[in-house]
Structure 1
Amino acid sequence: MLPEPPLLEIAGKPLLSWHLEKLANAGVRRVMTSLPDPTGEISRLLGDGRRFGLRIEPLDAAGEPVTGPQAIVAALAQRRGEPVAAISADLWTHYDFARLPRRPRASAHLVLVDNTALHPHGDLALLADGQVREGHGMKLTFSGIGVYAPHLLEAHARPADSPSARHRTALTDVLALLGWAMARGEVHGEHYTGPWTHLTSPDRLWELDGVVEL
C-alpha cells in the first residue's frame, strides 16, 4: 500500500520535504500543518521544523484537527489579522513560492494552471485584469496554491441577506467565502504554466520519480 501523498517519495525525498524546503528558501519561517497522521509518520518527519529551518505547528480549531478548505478559515482565525498562504500537500510543482504576494490585492490571490485530461473543464476563469471569477467562459484549474487575506472572514459576519449567509456555519468553508468575494471582484490570480501535477494515482508518481529536476 502506498503512503499518504505527503509521504510519497520523489527522487528519494518525501513530497512534504520538497514543499517545506521550498517554503524555507522563499523566506517563510512559520508553517501550520493540517494533515491527517494516523500512523504518526508525518509528525516524525516534521519534528518541530528545525531541520527545515522552520517553526512547524499543528493547526486545530477548538482542540480538534481540521483539514481541507475548512483549514484555511481556521488558519485565518488563528493568525489574527495576518494573511495565510496555503499549499496543498498532494501536488508537485516547480512554482516558486517566493512569487506569492505577501498580501493579496483584495481578498485572495489564487494560482491557476492549465486543465488536465482528468479535469478538462477547469474551475475558475481568469480575466484580463487579473480577476478570478466563477461562471461561464474559458476556465483554468485551481492549483491548490493561494494566499488569503484576513478580511475574507468578514463574509462570515455579513447581514443575513448576503450571499454568504446561505452557507454560514461555525467556521464555514473557504469555498463559500471565496464565492462571495469573487462576486464582488475581490479575488485575483495568476496563470502558472510550468510543471504541476496532482498526485491522484500511483501512475502519476511513477511518471515523476527519476525525472525531477534536482
Structure 2
Amino acid sequence: MKAMILAAGKGERMRPLTLHTPKPLVQAGGKRLIEYHLEALAKAGFTEIVINHAWLGQQIEGYLGDGAQFGLRIQYSPEGEPLETGGGIFQALPLLGDEPFLVVNGDIWTDYDFSRLKQPPAGLAHLVMVDNPPHHPSGGDFYIKDGLLHDAAPGADNLTFSGISVLHPKLFAGCSAGAFKLAPLLRTAMAQGLVSGEHMDGRWIDVGTLERLAQVETLLTVGQ
C-alpha cells in the first residue's frame, strides 16, 4: 500500500514561522513535522510515499529528496495553486495507482500506528476519528455506528476527523481536475454505507497554530 502526505497548506495561522518555511518543515522536538510521519510510515512497513506541495514546496523536495535517508521512495505532486484536499489527492492519483492508499495530513502530530491501516477497506474509505479537541469542542465531523461512519447529527457521539484515512481511488470516480473538497465525496459514500471508521485513543494534535505547535514541543521534550 502506498501513502500520501498532504503538505500543500500555506500555514497562515502559524506566521511568522511559515512566511519563509513551509509548515511541514517547521520544527518540533528538534525534528521537522513531516519527518515524524515519514519515520512512522517507514516503521509501519510503507515504502512508497507521495507528497503534494504548493507553498514553498521546493524546500520540501530539497530537504527530503528521494526519501532514501528514511528508507523510503518519495514522489512529489506539485500544485501551482492549492487544490484543496480532494483536488490535491485527485491530481496525485496517477502516482498512487489503482489500489487503496493511506492519506495523512502533514499538519498533524500523532503517535498512531499506521500499520493498523494496511488492510484495504471493505468500502471506499476508512477514517480514523479522534475525540473533539479543545479548539473544536462541540463540533465533530462524523459519528461511528456499527463500524460505519455517518454525518454528524444532534445527540450523536460526534467525533473529529484526525486527517488519517485509507481511500480507494474509486472514491474519486467522476471528478475533474481542479480545486475541490474531500468531505462531499466522503458524505456521498457514507450515505451508501461505504465508509468505515475507528476511534483512536492515542495522542494527536492538529498543529494549526503556534500555540498547538508549542503543545507538540512540550509532549516531545517533557513527555507530558
TM-score over 0.5 for the pair:
yes
Asked if the contact 1:76–1:84 (Cα under 8 Å) also holds between the matched residues in 2, the reply is no
Extract unaligned runs of 5+ from structure 1: 157-167
Change (3 A) 1:45 1:37: farther
Corresponding residue to 2:201 among 175, 190, 193? 193
| TM-score normalised per structure 2 | 0.80
Per-residue deviation, 1:28: 0.8
Q: % of aligned pairs identical?
A: 39
Q: How does 1:5-24 map to 2 (within 5 A)?
A: 5-24=23-42
Supply the distance in 1 between the matched residues of 2:101 and 2:144 (Cα, whole angstroms).
21
Shift of 1:64: 7.6
Q: Which amino acid aligns with 2:17?
A: L
Q: Does the residue aligned with 1:133 lie in a helix, a strand or coil?
A: strand
Residues in 1 aligned to 2:57 and 2:164: alpha-carbon distance in whole angstroms: 26
1:160 maps to which residue?
none
Cα shift readout 1:94-131 (whole Å, capped 9, x = no counterpart) = 1011111331111100000000121121100111x110
Aligned counterpart in structure 1 of residue 165 of structure 2, from 146, 156, 173:
146
Query: In the comparison of the two structures, how many residue pairs are matched?
Result: 199
Taking the TM superposition and a 5 Å limit, the aligned residue runs for 1:151-170 are 151-154=170-173, 156=174, 169-170=176-177
Shift in alpha-carbon separation, 1:50–1:65, aligned structure 2, 3 A: farther
Residue 70 of structure 1 and its aligned partner are, at CA, apart by 1.6
Paired residues for 1:67-106 under 5 Å: 67-106=84-123
State the distance in 2 between where 1:90 and 1:19 align: 10
Whether the aligned pair in 2 keeps the contact of 1:124 and 1:142 (CA below 8 Å) is: yes
How high is the TM-score relative to the length of structure 1? 0.84
For residues 75 and 122 of structure 1, what CA distance do their matches in structure 2 show? 28
- CA RMSD in angstroms comes to 2.2
* CA deviations over 1:150-179 (Å, ceiling 9, x no partner): 22233x2xxxxxxxxxxx654654322211
Give the 3-state SS of the residue equivalent to 2:199 in structure 1: strand
What is the DSSP-based 3-state SS (H/G/I as helix, E as strand, rest coil) of the residue aligned with 1:33? strand
1:33 is aligned with what amino acid? I
| Local SS of the residue matching 2:102 | strand
Q: Give the aligned residue type for 2:50.
A: M
Q: Unaligned stretches of 5+ in structure 2?
A: 1-15
Whether 1:47 aligns to 2:62 is: no
**Does the 8 Å CA contact 2:205/2:216 hold for their aligned counterparts?**
no
| 1:196-211 matched pairs, under 5 angstroms | 196-211=204-219
Contact kept, 8 Å, 1:152 with 1:177, in 2: the verdict is: yes
* CA distance in structure 2 between the aligned counterparts of 1:79 and 1:108, rounded to whole angstroms: 15
Return the alpha-carbon distance in structure 2 between the equivalents of residues 195 and 6 of structure 1: 19
How many Å separate the matches in 2 of 1:38 and 1:139?
35
